Homo-oligomer: A and B are copies of this chain.
Amino acid sequence: MPDSYLAGLEVLASVGIDQDDFRNRAAEVAPEFVRLAIGFTYGEIFNRPGLDLKVRMLVAIAAGTATGTAPGQLREHVQAALRLGWSEREIIEVMIQTAAHSGVPAALTALTDCHDLLAVRTRDSESCYDESSETGQA
Which residues on A are within 8 Å of B, measured CB to CB? Answer: 1-4, 25-26, 28-37, 40-41, 44-46, 48-51, 55-56, 58-60, 62-70, 73, 88-90, 92-109, 111-112, 114-115, 118-119, 122, 129, 131, 134-135, 137-138
Asked if A104 and B138 sit within 8 Å, CB to CB, the answer is: no
Asked if A45 and B112 sit within 8 Å, CB to CB, the answer is: no
The dominant DSSP class at the A interface is: helix
Assuming the A-B contacts A29-B111, A111-B29, A111-B30, are A66 and B69 also in contact, with contact meaning beta carbons closer than 8 angstroms in the complex? no
* Total copies of this chain within the assembly: 6
A60, A102, A103, A129: most-surrounded residue (chain B CB, <10 A): A103
Asked if A115 and B28 sit within 8 Å, CB to CB, the answer is: yes
Q: 8 closest Cβ contacts across the A-B interface?
A: A103-B103, A51-B93, A62-B62, A70-B105, A63-B101, A32-B134, A63-B66, A66-B66
Asked if A100 and B46 sit within 8 Å, CB to CB, the answer is: yes
Asked if B25 and A115 sit within 8 Å, CB to CB, the answer is: yes
